Structure 1
Amino acid sequence: MCAKANSLEGLFNMATRQQCMTKIKRYPAVSLSKLRPDSEAVLVPLCRVDGIPSILYTVRSQHLWYNKGEIAFPGGVNNKKETLIETALRHTEEDIGLKPDKIDIWGNGPAFPGRDNKILVTPVIASVDRLTDADLNVNNKKVAEVFTVAIEVLCDPNNQFASNCDGFLLPVFAADKYIIRGLTAYITHVLLNCALSKDVYNNDILKRKKIMAPLK
Structure 2
Amino acid sequence: MSILPESLLSTLARQSCVSKLKDVPSLVPSPGESKVKAAVLLPLFVQNGEVHILYTLRSSNLSSHSGQVSFPGGKLDENEKVIDAALRETYEEIGVPPESVDVWCEMSPLQGRDKTVLITPVVAFIKNLSVNNLTPNVDEVDEIFSEPMSFFCDQTKHAHLKHENYMLPVFLGKHKIWGITGLITHIFLQCFLPSQLYQTDFGRKRYKLEELLPSKL
1:190 aligns with 2:187: yes
Greater CA deviation, 38-47 or 185-194? 38-47
Say whether the 8 Å CA contact 2:3–2:50 is kept in structure 1.
Answer: no
User: Which string of whole-angstrom CA distances, capped at 9 and with x for unpartnered residues, describes residues 89-144 of structure 1?
Assistant: 00000000011111110010110011321211000000113321464111010000
Q: TM-score, normalised by structure 2?
A: 0.90
Say whether the 8 Å CA contact 1:105–1:124 is kept in structure 2.
Answer: yes
Question: Of the candidates 206, 210, 214, which is equivalent to residue 211 of structure 1?
Answer: 206
In the alignment, structure 1 segments of 5+ residues that lack a partner are none
Number of aligned pairs?
209
Q: How does 1:151-166 map to 2 (within 5 A)?
A: 151-166=149-164
Displacement of 1:48: 0.5
Aligned to 1:90: 88
Q: How does 1:109-128 map to 2 (within 5 A)?
A: 109-128=107-126
Aligned to 1:35: 34
Displacement of 1:9: 4.0
- C-alpha distance in structure 2 between counterparts of 1:88 and 1:99, whole Å: 11
Aligned to 1:101: 99
- C-alpha distance in structure 2 between counterparts of 1:99 and 1:211, whole Å: 39
Displacement of 1:5: 3.7
1:63 aligns with 2:61: yes
Aligned to 1:143: 141
Q: TM-score, normalised by structure 1?
A: 0.90
Say whether the 8 Å CA contact 2:90–2:96 is kept in structure 1.
Answer: yes
Which segments of structure 1 move beyond 6 Å, counting only runs of 4 or more?
A: none
User: Which string of whole-angstrom CA distances, capped at 9 and with x for unpartnered residues, describes residues 158-216 of structure 1?
Assistant: 101111112210000011x31000010001001110011111112264xx131122235
Displacement of 1:51: 2.4
Identity of aligned residues (%): 35
Say whether the 8 Å CA contact 2:159–2:201 is kept in structure 1.
Answer: no
Aligned partner letter, 1:132: S
**Structure 1 residues 95, 47: CA separation in 2 closer, same or farther (over 3 Å shift)?**
same
Aligned to 1:200: 197
Aligned partner letter, 1:211: R
Say whether the 8 Å CA contact 2:3–2:149 is kept in structure 1.
Answer: no
User: Which string of whole-angstrom CA distances, capped at 9 and with x for unpartnered residues, describes residues 52-95 of structure 1?
Assistant: 21100000011222111000000000113221000000000000
Greater CA deviation, 126-135 or 71-80? 126-135
Aligned partner letter, 1:210: K
Say whether the 8 Å CA contact 2:3–2:193 is kept in structure 1.
Answer: no
In the alignment, structure 2 segments of 5+ residues that lack a partner are none
Say whether the 8 Å CA contact 1:52–1:150 is kept in structure 2.
Answer: yes
Aligned to 1:21: 18
Say whether the 8 Å CA contact 2:101–2:124 is kept in structure 1.
Answer: yes
